[in-house]
Amino acid sequence: MRYQNLCIRLLALGALLGGSTALRADSYKSMNISLPLISFGGEAVGKFEWNLKGKGALGLEVNVLQETEFYSDEEIEEKNGDSLMMKGTQAALFYSQYSNPKMMSGGFWGFGVGYRTVQADWLQTPGTNQDLGGATLNTDGKVLHELKGTGATGHARFGYRYVAESIPFSLGAYLGIRHFQNQLKDAAKEGRATTGEDDLETLERRMTSRLEPGIELGLAF
């Protein structure tokens, strides 16, 4: 929740900055390149965006999920120290509309489609009657599942971007939602436990919809 509150405050700040800057009618930016100012949830997002002659903007976004713990601290405690470490990549195409389309600035909304891959190392405390399928336990008495997931993504977001007129500088913030139509399966490796269908379905559901906050710093040309 603190991430969403931070994004909302930055959106309000951007609106204030934008309202205090009078742009000339002939000001125009053809491209914006942005990188994350803050990485939320271990996700680093880079984006190349092209101005469609004032009729919106087309963006190519590349997302790298650094190895990150998926469980919250409360879940780790509840699950007796279990861990679900995830990493992955994503590429997506976005179409956006800006209140100042020539500069690709001001308030905006956008939607996109993409493709995402994830890998997960799941250390789980085995159940009493769980079939380990020949998997070995580590020194903490946990079994390792190695999972891979792929699938299409859909995105919707809104935000605000400030673009300087005389220098190649932009600053933006957004809040959105991602739908990940994922399919998880076990990686075929010796010593890894087979994951039950119920556990796979539970993890797939949890990965389906996630908030996507972002604060980005960029170059506008």
CATH of the domain at 206: 2.40.160
Closest CA to 22 of 103, 107, 108, 96: 103
Q: What's the pLDDT score for residue 206? A: 94
- Beta strands 105-124 and 83-100: pairing type? antiparallel
Band of pLDDT at residue 127, cut at 50, 70 and 90: confident
**Backbone phi, psi, residue 127, to 5°:** -75, 170
> What's the pLDDT score for residue 116?
98
Categorize the per-residue pLDDT at 188 as very low, low, confident or very high, splitting at 50, 70 and 90.
confident
Task: Give 168's Cβ-side CA count (13 Å radius).
Answer: 9
pLDDT value, residue 22:
41
Overall number of domains in the chain = 1
pTM: 0.83
pLDDT single digits (tens) 61-103: 999 999 999 999 999 999 999 999 999 999 999 999 999 999 9
Q: Contact at 8 Å (CB) between 36 and 66? A: no
Cα–Cα distance, 91 to 85 (Å, whole number)? 21
Q: What is the mean pLDDT of the chain?
A: 88
pLDDT at residue 5, as a whole number: 57
Question: Looking at residue 23, what is its pLDDT?
Answer: 43
Residue 9, domain extent:
2-220
Q: Which two tokens stand for residue 95?
A: 């179409």
Exposure class string for 163-179: b at 16+ Cβ within 10 A, else e: bbeeeeebbbbbbbebe
Per-residue confidence (pLDDT) for residue 2, from 0 to 100: 53
- From CA 26, how far away is CA 106, in angstroms rounded? 16
Work out the pLDDT band at 20, boundaries 50, 70, 90.
very low
| pLDDT for position 6 | 53
| pLDDT tens figures, 21-38 | 444 446 899 999 999 999
